[in-house]
Amino acid sequence: MMTQEAIIEKIKQAIPDAEVTLRDLTGTSDHWEALVISKQFHGKSKLEQHRVVFDALKEEMSGPIHALTLKTLTP
């Protein structure tokens, strides 16, 4: 389980310019949907864009976050 603010904080540490919108898919704070918008995604494939976000949440993905559905965009 994790709070929305903690997840956003962790993503912003790795992607400082990121605009992050989160939705709790199950109300149990462990299945999330995230929209992440960042200039850092320019020139990256969707796979690489998602990997940047997953790498920012490396520890959390093997613990408190059970599922994370991602949408990544450039501004």
Partner 1 sequence: MNSMIQKQIKEQIKDDRVVLYMKGNKSFPQCGFSARVVDILNKHNVDYQTHNVLTSADIRSGIKEYSSWPTIPQLYVDGTFIGGCDIICDMEQSGDLEKLLNQTTAG
Widest CA span in the chain:
35
Candidate segments 4-12, 15-23, 35-43, 63-71, binder of partner 1 by CB under 8 A? 63-71
Rounded to whole angstroms, how far apart are CA atoms 29 and 65? 8
> Which of 50, 52, 64, 73 contacts partner 1 by CB under 8 A?
50
**Three-state DSSP state, 65:** coil
8: contact with partner 1 by CB under 8 A = no
Question: Is 59 buried (19+), middle (13-18) or exposed (0-12) by CB count in 10 A?
Answer: exposed
> Which of 5, 27, 28, 62 contacts partner 1 by CB under 8 A?
62
14: contact with partner 1 by CB under 8 A = no
Footprint of partner 1 (CB under 8 A)? 46-47, 50-51, 54-55, 58, 61-62, 67-71
